[in-house]
Structure 1
């Protein structure tokens, strides 16, 4: 990221009032707490990808690599999870490894699940909605993830809509992702985001990306072309007092984009299997992603890591 944009993002966090370590039941790592206190750029990261997105030790290696990339670009990573009932913002190497080994034994935790996981002393891997909640709570303005949830296919009859979308409609955190997972209904997802008043911008393209691939067939509502553009967009939203989040969709690099036809064929087969096996609710997305990865010989998983 260009230094001017990084500096601007750091300044954005001065609009927030970060909590101190342990305040209101959240543990902030010393590295993240110091960065927030000094006005340095901090980037939030979810943890569901670690526990539910890929097997051990690949999940641990990927988590470490992502954190290293953020540090190399001058910011501080803040992976978020709930361990033994305590929400943690910023994980140590030991905590990252513990979460990676726990895998699916850690509960996939959306906003609705936070209170229960904390109350029962459980371990929770945060989804986009829960990560946004904790990021905003401690004063982190930027959150980077692979792909957000959305309206599921056939959602018009099932009403299966990810809480990620409603969180974007009420929590002022900028989410940078590769778009919406292509296992979902992307056109309806964009319509729902419009209803929630969420600013959606694609990076250096007019087409909204589809996570595994550059193109979804859907026109992006708006476009940004540089890190400075992104920083100005976030700055404007904060200064105007908008209480919604922002979704900045960054397409996967063309050389790593999976074949759209291959992915779509695998998705259709996985969806059919999910219906036959009655896989629904929070279990559906991990099932579909894992099955699509199997059907594509790991191509989709490799794309999601990139």
Structure 2
């Protein structure tokens, strides 16, 4: 398995569309722990300068646990695995001018030498291509409320069914239909595991009201699951859900009220597709007077700590195999 990853990495490191920082190249060559990070959370998830400050803080947290951060984005038609400070600043200032990029958008953005911020789905693809098995994000996409009419289901779920990258998150975004999302993940054959708890989290709050399909005690057990997923060559992703610490969670009632209001505005304004989630997150933050944004920042930092520890433990497994 690792030989396949190494061959893919060397091919991409020498190909024109990919720029991999020397630090990450060195870590991958030595089977060291690297953590992929998405860039949509920078361009579309938070306002400047909080987005850049949070991104840098997340990278610092990953390093503090002994892993190397690899923020992924597309700049001038070039896939960047790892962003230097000035490029991170550039992306943060661009904000939504950088195109929100899922699987379907990657080739188009490269062909037009454009700027793209990677979603969960596209970050998984590019992390896999670079040989990075662990990816940290805030929350995954899923089945939108009212999907029985709109058929709006995130490409994240399909990608999880076919790309073997472990995604460490705070569960499914609270604005979505969590019960139906868990059903689709089961259909896609995706392993869904909560770390430390039996209940599946709901992004801003630690308990969605649904049990998780499985749970593990700590990061070492999570790494063991990933290792065996690779050994079996299942070729499907894994979701590791990390509940936001209760002291940093948002108030359940205020969050639900804000979500209901924001959803009504989405329907009345005809907002749909890739514009819906950024709008909902922004409006929920406005309606909760920043409470949801504070929880969002707290949970991504917590996920980064857990994800980096998983990457370190997984690196030990590969080194000893």
Alignment TM class, shorter chain as reference: over 0.9
SS at match of 1:181: coil
Question: In structure 2, what is the Cα distance between the partners aligned to 1:146 and 1:126?
Answer: 13
Number of the residue aligned with 1:273:
265
Whole-angstrom distance in 1 between the partners of 2:256 and 2:280: 12
1:120 maps to what in 2?
A: 112
2:85: which partner in 1?
93
Do residues 72 (structure 1) and 64 (structure 2) align? yes
Aligned residues: 295
- Among 237, 260, 282, the alignment partner of 1:245 is 237
In structure 1, what is the equivalent of residue 222 of structure 2?
A: 230
Q: Where in structure 2 are the equivalents of 1:1-306 lying within 5 Å?
A: 16-17=5-6, 18-19=9-10, 20-23=12-15, 25-306=17-298
The answer as to whether partners of 1:203 and 1:249 remain within 8 angstroms in 2 is yes
- CA drift of 1:39 comes to 1.2
- What RMSD over aligned residues (CA atoms) do the two structures have, in Å? 1.1
1:27 Cα offset (Å): 1.3
Deviation at 1:177, TM superposition (A): 0.2
Query: Which consecutive aligned stretches of 4+ in structure 1 deviate over 6 angstroms post-superposition?
Result: none
Mark the CA change 1:74 to 1:196 in structure 2 (over 3 Å): closer, same or farther. Answer: same
Q: Which residue is equivalent to 1:4?
A: none
Deviations 1:49-104 (A, max 9, x none): 00011111111111100000000110000000000011111111111000001001
Question: Contact 2:17–2:77 (CA<8 Å) still a contact in 1?
Answer: no
Rounded Cα–Cα distance in structure 2 between residues aligned with 1:181 and 1:133? 21
Contact kept in structure 1, 2:135 and 2:166, CA below 8 Å: yes
Distance 1:110 1:24 in 2: 20
| Distance in 1, Cα, partners of 2:166 & 2:240 | 7
Is the partner of 1:103 in helix, strand or coil? helix
CA change 1:304–1:13 in 2 (3 A) is farther
Any unmatched runs of 5+ in structure 2? 299-321
Greater RCO (Cα-Cα under 8 Å, separation 6 or more): 2
Counterparts of 1:67 and 1:131, CA distance in 2: 16
Aligned partners of 1:210, 1:178: CA distance in 2, in Å?
Answer: 7
SS in 2 for 1:287: helix
Distance 1:48 1:169 in 2: 21
CA distance in 2, matches of 1:118, 1:217: 41
Contact kept in structure 2, 1:13 and 1:140, CA below 8 Å: no
Q: CA–CA distance in 2 between the matches of 1:58 and 1:270? A: 22
TM-score by length of 1: 0.94
Uncovered stretches (5+) of structure 1, i.e. residues with no partner: 1-11
Q: How far is the alpha carbon of 1:21 from its aligned partner?
A: 2.5
Question: Could you tell me how far 1:14 is from its partner in structure 2?
Answer: 6.1
Shift of 1:201: 0.2
